[in-house]
Chain A
Amino acid sequence: MEVNKYINDVKDGKVSVIKTVKDILKEANKINKDYNYFNNISEELALELADNVNLDGKLAGLPISIKDCICVRDVESTAGSKILNGYKPLFNATVIDKLIKEGAVIIGKTSQDEFGFGSFNVNVGLDKKIPKNPLDKERVTGGSSGGSAGFTRLTKHPHVSISESTGGSIACPASFCGVAGLTPTYGLVSRYGLIDYANSLDKIGVMGKNVSDTKLVLDVIPGHDEKDSTSLKEKVKEDSKVKKVGIIEESLNVEDKIKDKIYEYLDSNNINYVKIKLPLTNKFSLDSYYIIAMAEASTNLAKLSGMRYGVEEDVEGKNFNEYFTKIRSENFGKEAKRRIILGTFTRMAGYRDAYYLKAMKVRRLIIEEYKKAFQKVDLLVSPTMPITAPKLTDVNKLKPIENYMMDILTAGPNLAGLPHLNVNVGYLHKMPIGLMFIADYLNENKLYNFENVI
């Protein structure tokens, strides 16, 4: 059932929220056995919220799943990492409070790459399970918000999922699973209560079965928050007019059949486009993104040391350095260790200027390149991913650098903090193909108007 219709029916008393929530919880448990989309299904909280729904709210009675890295009070929130096992936040992330206020019902925490470190959702925490693609269990969901994308695709009930993107973690799994995924402007949605990956890149967003479902949530979650010093005071711009669309020329270096589908979609929707070149973004965004992301991640993860929350061991008689080192070495997964080491390296005296500062200078040049492009067009468009969802066995053969290269198309808009939307435009060998629309800062309304090019 469409989310809009469901909410109207709830308000009119035509459907029971409690029954819907019980049904979706049952379904989530069943699907989870085969597909591993949830790290935690929060039945108790869901039923309590269903019982006390704000029927006047914009999301009255709507079941919502939450990526594991977003804190929900009293519900285990691990960001997909073993090191945070047992951590039950004492507070809600700001976005959770906003959703509940508008009548949403939180149903559980979705699986993800550990701390968001991945493009395929295979880098899960040491005791977590890899989610499987909803259309082919041998294939991956994409990452890092794989659980959110997979469940959004498979559920038969009204539902949206709150997810998070640092370098493509919403667009990529949305593309591989064939759902709509919105990543808003950096700073539009408060990051308070997000277990951070990289502070200057993280953005909380939303996935839905279709584009209009995500728009509904975008009307609820933005807003300045004094608890997040990077949250914006500005609002989404009203103007939704799209006069010109620019297809990013360098992004077309993908499989011919993916390219064909994208042209077919643009043509069948009468979307006229011009070609736009983004040479700096194409050549340098991936490296700039990964350096900044890893540097910030390595500092963020320094706080996880077996004290105050998460995994702890007996501290009696232990030396602090040995204790912290033991906890971290035994509880971080392989990719987390790799990124901590790379991030620590690029911040070290002697290397900082060559890597970390350089990457942030390059980011400025890339932002300027996008700004120039948006003087010519209202929206940019490209394939979301260079491929469709690969098989897990093939992903396992990739070297780390080959993994990172998969973000070549999503790194740019994420690095620049630009809003972008993945739309499913068809299938290749039964696997979904995603198209990504990118807009200038705070022009989310243009993203939702791509089919109405003047």
Chain B
Amino acid sequence: MKINKEILLKVAKNARLDLNDEEVKELLPQIEEVLEHFSNLDKIDTNKVKPSFQPIEIKNVFRKDKSGMCLTQDEILKNVKNKKDGFFKGPKTI
């Protein structure tokens, strides 16, 4: 699998990672080599096989629609530096 700097930076941007030139230089051949190895799976026919989302088949679990105990607002904010008026405070979104 050929991968160029443009694709690498696009993927990194999607993953919210900023790569410097040195990282790009190091990562490009490594990622190419790993993807090349992954293409080993092309050798096996899986046309009629269903994907296994878990190793053991499991069914959806639904909880009863009943209210229960949960952490308090104060507890939730215990680990947070950026907070205001009982809420998480984040960076500007617009």
Pairwise interchain contact B38-A318, C-beta atoms closer than 8 A: no
Name the CB-closest residue of A to B3.
Answer: A345
Report B10-50 residues with CB < 8 Å from chain A CB. Answer: 11-12, 14-19, 23, 27, 30-31, 33-35, 37-38, 40-44, 46, 49-50
Q: Is A360 an interface residue (CB 8 A)?
A: yes
Residues of A within 8 A of B30 (CB): 338, 399-401
Pairwise interchain contact B58-A307, C-beta atoms closer than 8 A: no
Pick the most buried of B18, B31, B91: most chain A CB atoms within 10 A of its CB: B91
Distance (whole angstroms) from the CB of A334 to the closest CB of chain B: 8
Report A77-122 residues with CB < 8 Å from chain B CB. Answer: 86-88, 90-91
Name the CB-closest residue of A to B79.
Answer: A309
Residues of A within 8 A of B15 (CB): 298, 302, 328, 340-341, 344
Interface 1/0 per residue, A315-329 and B, CB below 8 Å = 101111111111011
Q: Is A312 an interface residue (CB 8 A)?
A: yes
Distance (whole angstroms) from the CB of A72 to the closest CB of chain B: 14
Bound-state Cα–Cα, A186 to B18, Å = 35
> How many residues on A have C-beta within 8 angstroms of the other chain's C-beta atoms?
74
Distance (whole angstroms) from the CB of B48 to the closest CB of chain A: 9
Bound-state Cα–Cα, A229 to B63, Å = 10
Bound-state Cα–Cα, A186 to B33, Å = 30
Given A315-B91, A399-B33, A90:B41 Cβ within 8 A = no
Distance (whole angstroms) from the CB of A339 to the closest CB of chain B: 10
Q: Is B51 an interface residue (CB 8 A)?
A: yes
Residues of B within 8 A of A367 (CB): 52, 55
Cross-chain contact of A341 among B31, B50, B71, B90 (Cβ < 8 A):
B31
Pairwise interchain contact A338-B31, C-beta atoms closer than 8 A: yes
Chain A to chain B contacts (Cβ below 8 Å), 7 pairs = A187-B56, A314-B82, A315-B82, A345-B11, A360-B52, A367-B55, A416-B55
